[in-house]
């Protein structure tokens, strides 16, 4: 059966990764330094995490960075210092980012936040971080009452934070890319959200982000599982406890592939079962837990 152009393009990207050096070295590392989030999004498993409140020890952060230093300096990869959490609640975040800059210069840093903890001082410090690919702001709603029901945060205060970010972009105090996103539900409100953001903050990009079921860890409606592989077979998703989840969609780490407390980070990536996915598998429908996942 023929697949859509979107899925065909996705599969082409997967096959390109299979032929790249990322067969041996991760293309993306998620590093959750503090398993805490102040939002209560109804499409996210954050509120159900057994590890909620766990702060990754400084020594383990250092071990992970030291072991990632063994990656080739000429091979770019993405490093996201978060998983199922709000990264700006960790007061160590900016220090960690500067250590990544100094010791992993090939790493493009990407950050996702709900924006509520952002301050002018934090943003000024963030502006001095090198290789910052984007700041992704998960807003999701433009209607105050629905926002507060969905996110559990004060809409007015969050909008003030976005106004601040936008003003600092306009004054060139910040120069990185800012994306404001919505976890889309397929309704007309997806496009209404996009128009509202573009009208209020023209300096931001807008993304309608695909809703995912988190491998059954969140009860949300999703479509059919696509008959393609998964780009996240080339990722590492490290939780605050040191357990490495199967992927970014394994929010509760119910399907762990390793533990960096006891294993070298790159040893986890090169484990035979995980390597088989990258080398041989072309469809997630043949693999557990991937055959439960609609996320692209």
> Of 192, 207, 204, 211, whose CA–CA distance to 142 is shortest?
192
pLDDT tens digit sequence for 24-80: 999 999 999 999 999 998 889 998 899 999 999 999 999 999 999 999 999 999 999
- Which pLDDT score, from 0 to 100, does residue 132 have? 98
At 246-259, the pLDDT tens digits run 999 999 999 999 99
What pLDDT, on a 0 to 100 scale, did the predictor assign at position 47?
A: 85
- The pLDDT, as a whole number, for residue 127 is 97
Which secondary structure element, helix H or strand E, spans residue 266, and what is its range? Answer: helix 265-269
Place of tokens 């493009």: 108
**With the CA atoms of 278, 279, 283 and 288 taken in that order, what torsion angle do they form, in degrees rounded to the nearest 10?**
-60
Which of 13-22, 200-209, 213-222, 254-263 bottoms out in mean pLDDT, i.e. has the lowest? 213-222
**Could you tell me if 210 and 184 are in contact, meaning their C-beta atoms sit under 8 angstroms apart?**
yes
Residues 6+ apart with CB under 8 A from 73: 105, 106
């Amino acid at each position: 059966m023929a697949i859509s152009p979107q899925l065909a393009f996705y599969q082409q990207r997967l096959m390109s990764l299979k032929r790249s050096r990322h067969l041996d070295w991760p293309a993306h590392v998620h590093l959750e330094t503090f398993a805490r989030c102040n939002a209560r999004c109804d499409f996210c498993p954050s509120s159900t995490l057994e590890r909620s409140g766990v702060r990754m020890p400084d020594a383990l952060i250092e071990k992970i960075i030291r072991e990632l230093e063994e990656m080739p300096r000429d091979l770019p990869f993405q490093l996201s210092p978060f998983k199922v959490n709000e990264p700006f609640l960790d007061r160590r975040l900016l220090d960690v980012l500067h250590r990544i800059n100094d010791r992993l210069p090939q790493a493009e840093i990407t950050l996702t936040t709900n924006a509520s903890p952002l301050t002018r001082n934090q943003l000024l410090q963030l502006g001095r971080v090198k290789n910052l690919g984007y700041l992704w702001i998960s807003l999701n709603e433009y209607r105050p009452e629905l926002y507060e029901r969905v996110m559990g945060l004060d809409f007015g205060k969050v909008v003030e934070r976005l106004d601040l970010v936008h003003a600092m972009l306009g004054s060139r105090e910040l120069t990185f890319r800012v994306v404001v996103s919505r976890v889309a539900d397929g309704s007309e409100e997806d496009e209404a959200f996009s128009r509202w953001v573009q009208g209020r903050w023209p300096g931001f990009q807008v993304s309608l982000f695909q809703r995912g079921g988190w491998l059954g860890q969140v009860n949300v409606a999703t479509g059919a599982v696509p008959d393609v592989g998964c780009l996240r077979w080339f990722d590492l998703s490290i939780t605050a406890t040191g357990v490495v989840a199967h992927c970014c969609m394994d929010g509760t780490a119910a399907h762990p592939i390793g533990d960096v407390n006891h294993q070298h980070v790159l040893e986890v990536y090169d484990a035979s079962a995980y390597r088989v996915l990258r080398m041989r598998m072309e469809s997630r429908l043949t693999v557990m837990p991937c055959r439960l996942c609609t996320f692209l």
